[in-house]
Amino acid sequence: MAQRKPHKWGMIVDIDKCTGCQACVVACQAENNVQLNTEDRFHERRPIEWIHIQRYWEVPEEYRSRPEDAPFQDIKARFLPVLCQHCENAPCEPVCPVYATYHNDQGLNVQVYNRCVGTRYCANNCPYQVRFFNYWEPVWPDRMRNQLNPDVTVRSRGIMEKCSFCIQRLRRGERQVEAAEGGELNDRALAEGNFAPACVQACPTGSLIFGDYTDPDGQLSQYVAVDEDTNEKVLKDDRAYQLLKNIGTEPNVIYLKKIDPRRTGEGGHG
């Protein structure tokens, strides 16, 4: 068996389509055996959400200095789904003393649960706050014991966890595509076989797009190109940006800006 194809998985988050419905959050909890976040967990500031929606209120520019005076119809709710950015230059990786987190050959920042000793250095060094520590043994009510996904390890107390880009689905996709076609998993097979991450599958507006940066015909190719010499991503879309780009983490998750109808003069719901 030859080595696996060096995929480079990535995601596009189109903020313009996001309605902040949190279907991705629910899908992720169910797919990845994420613990149930009770009210207490939120009060402790220790909920585990591999993807979460950040909500912002945006006021018109002229009211920036005094937002309380802004007319309510001009205040806009803005939603930002934040998940592990799978940084190329990830700050969480060099601080792990046991190599429990590293970058694999498919462009994923992976967390190896059985190596993790729970120092929490990675979470403290993550600028996106998307790494979560299991302070307690996760418990599910008895009636939910058959709900757990058998393809995903249940993380015990003292283990760091984070978004894995639903690697269990990618592995299953690889197996099934290789078995059926003898080929490699590509964007087309990914879409047809529903091997994309749970959040992407659940998103009702299609604001999340998952694919392979190295696939020239893939879904991501219209937004991002990979420079062959420097191996860096070149953003092709005017709206594309990366979270905290200035700190140099080179995230593999690319965001597309919200189109503001007032600024562009295009029609909209206002």
Partner 1 sequence: MQGLPRIGKVPLVLGGLASTAIMLFVLIYVLTAWWSTPLFGFGASGPDQPIAFPHNVHVQDEGIACEFCHRNVVTGEAATVPAVEQCLICHTTVNGESNVEIAKLLEYAGRDKSGVVVPGATPQPIDWEKVHRIPDHVQFAHEPHLRYFTQQQDVIDMAAAGGISPVEQVCTICHGDVREMTKVKQERSLKMGDCVDCHRDYDAPTDCTTCHY
Q: Which is nearer to partner 1, 50 or 255 (CB)?
A: 50
| Residue 130 lies near partner 1 (rule: CB under 8 A) | no
3-state secondary structure the chain: CCCCCCCCEEEEEECCCCCCCCHHHHHHHHHCCCCCCCHHHHHCCCCCCCEEEEEEEECCHHHCCCHHHCCHHHCEEEEEEEECCCCCCCCCCCCCCCCCEEECCCCCEEECCCCCCCCCHHHHHCCCCCEEECCCCCCCCHHHCCCCCCCCCCCCCCCEEECCCCHHHHHHHHHHHHHHHCCCCCHHHHHHCCCCCHHHHHCCCCCEEEEECCCCCCCCCCCEEECCCCCCEEECCCCEECCCHHHCCCCCEEEECCCCHHHHCCCCCC
Site membership for partner 1, residue 146 (CB under 8 A): no
Please select the residue that binds partner 1; options are 110, 189, 226, 243, rule is CB under 8 A.
110
Q: Does 3 bind partner 1 (CB under 8 A)?
A: yes
CB of 178 to partner 1, least distance (A): 7
Q: Name the amino acid, one letter, at 212.
A: D
Question: According to CB under 8 A, which residues from 207 to 226 bind partner 1?
Answer: none
CB 50 to partner 1: min, Å: 13
Closest approach of Cβ 9 to partner 1, in Å? Answer: 12
Exactly one of 63, 79, 113, 121 binds partner 1 (CB under 8 A); which one? Answer: 113
Q: Closest separation between CB of residue 208 and partner 1, Å?
A: 20
Q: Which of 39, 61, 69, 114 binds partner 1 (CB under 8 A)?
A: 114
Nearer CB in complex with partner 1: 34/167: 167
The footprint of partner 1 on residues 89-108 (CB under 8 A) is 102, 104-105, 108
**Ranges within 152-191 binding partner 1 (CB under 8 A):** 152-154, 164, 167-168, 171, 175, 178-179
Q: Which residues bind partner 1 (CB under 8 A)?
A: 1-4, 102, 104-105, 108, 110, 112-115, 151-154, 164, 167-168, 171, 175, 178-179
